[in-house]
Structure formats: C-alpha cells, structure tokens
Amino acid sequence: MDKFVCVRLVQANALNLTLFQFDYDLTFTVFLLNADKTIYGRFGSRSDRKDAGKDISMEGFRKALAGALDLHKRYPANKALLAGKQPRPTRFKTPDDFPSLAGKYKPTLDYEGKVVQSCIHCHQVRDAERRFLRDDKKAIPDEVLYPYPMPNAAGLALDPKEKATVTSVGSGSPAEKAGFKAGDEILTLEGQPILSIADVQWVLHNASEPATLTAEILRGRKRIKLALDLAKDWRRQSDIAWRTTTWDLRRMAAGGMVLQDATAEERRAAKLPEDALALRVNHVGEYGDHAVAKRAGFKKDDILLSVDGQTTHLAESELFRYLLQRKMAGEKIPVTVLRDGARIDLELLMQ
C-alpha cells in the first residue's frame, strides 16, 4: 500500500460520474488509477444482501494491487491495452445533475448537522438513472436492470482470493461451451488485462446483447484463447433481489411489495404446479409511494397467481423486467392473488 497514494471518498455528492463508473450497489469499491486518471483496474464485488464480503478478500485485493503496480511499471507503453477499462460517455456529469436529485444536496456533507441526510448514497445514482428513464416514459433496458453481472451469469464461478481464477463452470453454460475449465486463470477479457472479478464485471456490464467476448486464459503453463458467446437475454441470469437499488424497482413495479417464490410446500398446499406463477408477498410497504400496494388491498402472505395475464413461473426480478419493459407509470395491472384459499382480483398501479 505504501506504493500507492490513497484517497477515500465517503459520499457521492458531486461525484465525477465521467470517471467513477462502478457498481453503485457496492459498499466498498476501489479504483486503481494512474496520476493522469488512466484506470488500471477496479476492485470490489457483491452478490448477496447479508454476506457483503463473500465475493472479495484481502488476498484478492493484494493480488489486484500487485497487478496494478505491474501495469504501472509498463505504462504508458501499454496504454492501448487499457483503453477498454476507461469510462464510457455518460448523460450526467454528477449525481446532482439527475432531475430527481437536482437541488436536493450540497456538494459537501453537513458534518455540523444531519450528516446522513446530507449524503448522496452511491445506490441513489442507479435509482436516479432508472427514474430518469421511467419519467421519460421509456422502458428500462436489461443493461440498466441488470448492472455489472457477476461472472456466473455466463456460467463462471471465480475464486475471490485470486485475481480471476475459475473454480467451477456451469453445466451447459456459455462458459462451458466456450471451453473454460476449473483452474483457468483469466488473463484478459476483450483485450483488457484482468486484475479482479470487478474487472470481469466491467467487461460484462459493457457487453452488447448478443455478444462474443474474446478471452485469453492461462491453463497450467499454456496460454489459450477462447471465445465466449452470450445470447441476447444472457443478462437475465443475474439475481438482482439483493441489490439496494431493487427497492425502488419494487416501488415502480410492485407498489412497495417484496415478493419471493413460493416454497414447494406452499405450492403443494395451494395445489399449484411447479411451473405456475406463485409469488408470496413477504412485505407490504407502509408509507408514501411504497404503500401503493397496501392501498390497493394487497396483504402480507398473499400469493400472486396472475399478473397482467402472466400465469407461468416468474421470479421477482423477472416479473419486474416484464412490467418495467412493457408498462408505463399510471397504468393499472390486473392481479389475482390467493388469500386464505380464496382467489381475489385486485389492481396494481404502476409508478
């Protein structure tokens, strides 16, 4: 660490979004930068609400730092290799420029008063991006609904104690079809030197739909080139239920309800087949826009059987995708729920 100049940012107020582009649902992220702001790599990943640290480790961080120092030694001769790691054009330069956040926060925190209330939290950037599209009456595309996919969306499980070493490959997955094997070390992806799982996520986040990503891996002592083919809907393999930003999606698409797939026991008790829609209401919001479902008559432990005529199995995030890509704010969606053995028809207002 003594070879780095360390700078810590604790709020997103006036954050430079033309430089700091990362997964805004993280509680910890690191940019490994040259003094001229060239990005060598990123560190920081997450895929679980409760266990925020299961995808990162000190060992992995140490190896990412060492990798960045190695890139730095060869800079600027290797600058062309780093081009893909650099920020992409963005509509807004700071969070404060988003219409839903404009004028609500000062550039610095109020350390003499209400510190938390004066802070723009990182997740609010993604919330504001989605709200901007929603207010503009545009569908929220997959790349915004499923940001920074974990490698398992392509069938890859990576070791958090390494830079990017494969621990397992999903059966029938794009990664298996591409030829990845456990033990492979991913050296580059789309030509970008890989320092961490976050670097892999950066490539996936910016990939097209469909896409073919080039990879160079080290297997034993042999360097091998692979082609990872991703289908049009590959991002939808991602689980977004853990994300803080999903809370606002629940407001938009579910009126403040938190939904979970019914258990096998609940399905048997209700005589529902495995392939049927059966989303149990775990929570109903109590206040403001998160109480829309409550005011419409939805209750905790209701089981959603039909939503806008959809009766086949959908996970919570899949239902949100369906609604947020097809329905606009103000539309009322017919919903049938199962409550105490009786089927009840309700209407849910989209926001």
Query: CA 87, 91, 97, 99 torsion: positive or negative?
Result: negative
Question: Residues 141-149: what's their mean pLDDT?
Answer: 97
Question: Residues 254-283: what's their mean pLDDT?
Answer: 96
Name the packing angle between helices 123-135 and 246-254 (round to 10°): 30
Pairing of strands 257-261, 279-284: antiparallel
Same domain? For 178 and 212 the reply is yes
Residue pLDDT, tens place only, 123-139: 999 999 999 999 999 99
> Could you list the residue range(s) of the whole structural domain that residue 308 is in?
245-349
The residues pairing with 281 across neighbouring beta strands, listed in sequence order, are: 259
Residue whose C-alpha is closest to residue 305's, from 283, 263, 335: 335
The enclosing domain of 314 has a CATH number of 2.30.42.10
In the chain, what percentage of residues exceed pLDDT 90? 99
Residue whose C-alpha is closest to residue 31's, from 6, 50, 53: 6
Same domain? For 337 and 249 the reply is yes
Contact 144, 134 (CB under 8 A): no
Same domain? For 179 and 212 the reply is yes
Q: Does residue 73 lie in a domain region?
A: no
Same domain? For 312 and 225 the reply is no
Same domain? For 258 and 304 the reply is yes
Give the end of a domain, one of 210, 236, 262: 236
Same domain? For 252 and 315 the reply is yes
Pairing of strands 279-284, 303-307: antiparallel
What does the alpha-carbon distance between residue 31 and residue 269 come to, in Å, rounded to a whole number? Answer: 51
Q: Does residue 189 lie in a domain region?
A: yes
**Structure tokens belonging to residue 244:** 């803080």
What does the alpha-carbon distance between residue 151 and residue 68 come to, in Å, rounded to a whole number? Answer: 21
What does the alpha-carbon distance between residue 215 and residue 231 come to, in Å, rounded to a whole number? Answer: 17
As a whole number, the mean pLDDT across the chain is 97
Q: Does residue 33 lie in a domain region?
A: no
Same domain? For 217 and 295 the reply is no
Q: 183 burial class (0-12, 13-18, 19+ CB within 10 angstroms)?
A: middle
Q: Given a cut of 90, is residue 54 above it in pLDDT?
A: yes
Residue 74 is predicted with a pLDDT of 97
Number of domain units in the chain: 2
Q: Does residue 112 lie in a domain region?
A: no
Query: CA 56, 59, 65, 67 torsion: positive or negative?
Result: negative
Q: Does residue 200 lie in a domain region?
A: yes
pTM: predicted TM-score of the whole model, two decimal places: 0.94
User: Coil, strand, or helix at residue 267?
Assistant: helix
Q: Given a cut of 90, is residue 1 above it in pLDDT?
A: no
Q: Does residue 84 lie in a domain region?
A: no
Q: In what order do the strands lie in the sheet with 211-219?
A: 192-193, 185-189, 211-219, 222-230
What does the alpha-carbon distance between residue 78 and residue 193 come to, in Å, rounded to a whole number? Answer: 10
Give the end of a domain, one of 236, 268, 296: 236
Same domain? For 293 and 337 the reply is yes
Q: 315 burial class (0-12, 13-18, 19+ CB within 10 angstroms)?
A: middle
What does the alpha-carbon distance between residue 228 and residue 219 come to, in Å, rounded to a whole number? Answer: 16
Q: Does residue 20 lie in a domain region?
A: no
Residue 243 is predicted with a pLDDT of 96
**Structure tokens belonging to residue 71:** 């890139």
Residue pLDDT, tens place only, 168-197: 999 999 999 999 999 999 999 999 999 999
Same domain? For 175 and 196 the reply is yes
Give the end of a domain, one of 236, 256, 281: 236
Name the packing angle between helices 316-326 and 246-254 (round to 10°): 60
Residue 251 is predicted with a pLDDT of 97
Question: Residues 277-300: what's their mean pLDDT?
Answer: 98
Residue 122 is predicted with a pLDDT of 96
Same domain? For 256 and 223 the reply is no
Same domain? For 272 and 330 the reply is yes
